[in-house]
Amino acid sequence: MSFSRPSRAWLTCPMATHEVELTDPVDLCTPDGSRLNPAAIGWSRVPLHTANLRGRRLRTKKWDYWAVLAPDLAFSVTYANVGYLGIADMWWCEPSTGLVGGRPGPRPGGFGMHLPDRPGTAPLRVDGPGVKVSMVDDEGGTTITAEWTEHGEAASLDLRVDLPPGHESVNVVIPWDERTFQYTSKHQARPARGTMRVGDRTWGFGVPAGEERTSPDAAWGVLDVGRGRWPYSTRWNWGGGAGVATDGRTVVGLQFGGRWTEGTGATENGVIVDGRVTKIGDELVWEYDWAHPMRPWRVRHRDGSLDVTLTPAHDRHSKANAVVLATEVHQVFGRWSGHVTDDSGTRYDVEGILGFAEESVSRW
């Protein structure tokens, strides 16, 4: 099987990508579901891949991970089956006070945690001990509800994340080889609103639809869809964010990755400007200190067309070692400042837009 990657000439932007842009639906795997379909290699502006994975259950990883970035609240909801383990997880933090909460929902063996081959085409629901999650997609967005208990208190989430007409995402296949590969669909800058309750306290977040450009209280949804087969040991960077540029009218979304894509000929890098993706085919430069994660995290393109720095306000540090499974993650939440460039060559400055960055080291 050949993994040559056709190139395409782009003349308008110094960050132009060599990656093939896909425009038609495609199966991720060969008909038997065991190997990567060469025709699936590339990227698209909307989800087009059907993840027809079959067999090799312990190496197959599937997840839908949602996060919301609000001015003084960040939270995530995870629905995943990574072969060894199913996960239904709720986590949140309030950076100004340092309050942190949530509830993990591990399900050994992943039994009962089903994710569709075509992401977003079927509801994801789980009702387990201490955690109940529902994720339902429709044409206009996603509705997520969750119920859980923490420290003896009842908690709940009611969330709506819009998918505005024409809003694009970064969808790409990362091909390590014909047997290990990952389809990822990364969504940034999707307007979000809702309510979270823990005990007798309630957080309302987001603003009415259409007011995101003018309100400092806007909240933004982040989606990471994963379907693939991973090497046992992995290390990655991921970062993202959203907000209004300093011109006061342009919504900018950030989507960055690193380490895990090196040497594959593909990246998950892109900038979303008013809903349209500028795909970045080059690896970006990440500068940060793992030992001191609350120091600034800088991400830049070597040609100077992109240079942004995250100032952290909270570090979500997790570490686990369960013999077969082991992971350690620093995920910091804060605000990005700097500049990005779209595929027309137009530069946009950002100052203090909401975001996050992370490094993860795993054996799984």
Q: How confident is the model at residue 320 (pLDDT cuts 50, 70, 90)?
A: confident
Residue 37 maps to a domain: yes
Alpha helices in 258-312 (DSSP H): none
The answer, yes or no, to whether residue 11 has pLDDT greater than 80, is: no
The answer, yes or no, to whether residue 303 has pLDDT greater than 80, is: yes
Instruction: Please tell me the pTM assigned to this model.
Output: 0.94
**What distance in Å separates the CA atoms of residue 149 and residue 127, rounded to the nearest whole number?**
13
Q: Give 242 or 363, the one with higher predicted confidence.
A: 242
**What distance in Å separates the CA atoms of residue 50 and residue 122, rounded to the nearest whole number?**
13
Q: Give 100 or 15, the one with higher predicted confidence.
A: 100
Residue 301 maps to a domain: yes
**Range of the structural domain that residue 335 is part of:** 26-363
Residue 11 maps to a domain: no
Phi then psi for residue 57, to 5 deg, are: -60, -40
**What distance in Å separates the CA atoms of residue 74 and residue 61, rounded to the nearest whole number?**
25
Q: Which whole number is the average pLDDT over 222-237?
A: 95
Predicted pLDDT of residue 323? 66
Predicted pLDDT of residue 15? 58
Q: How does pLDDT run across 334-356, given as a tens digit for each residue? A: 999 999 999 999 999 999 999 99
* 13-27, 212-226, 272-286, 290-304: the lowest-pLDDT one: 13-27
Q: Give 76 or 4, the one with higher predicted confidence.
A: 76
The answer, yes or no, to whether residue 64 has pLDDT greater than 90, is: yes
Residue 343 maps to a domain: yes
User: What total number of domains does the chain contain?
Assistant: 1
Q: How does pLDDT run across 235-279, given as a tens digit for each residue? A: 999 999 999 999 999 999 999 999 999 999 999 999 999 999 999
Distance from the first to the final alpha carbon of the chain? 27
Residue 19 maps to a domain: no
Residue 5 maps to a domain: no
Is there a contact between 228 and 181 (Cβ–Cβ < 8 Å)?
Answer: yes
Q: How confident is the model at residue 12 (pLDDT cuts 50, 70, 90)?
A: very low
Predicted pLDDT of residue 45? 98
Residue 9 maps to a domain: no
Q: How does pLDDT run across 120-156, given as a tens digit for each residue? A: 999 999 998 889 999 999 999 999 999 999 999 999 9
Q: How does pLDDT run across 162-208, given as a tens digit for each residue? A: 999 999 999 999 999 999 999 999 999 999 999 999 999 999 999 99
Residue 227 maps to a domain: yes
Q: Which of 42, 45, 342 is nearest to 167 (CA)?
A: 45
Q: C-alpha angle with apex 24: 36 to 225, nearest 5 degrees?
A: 60
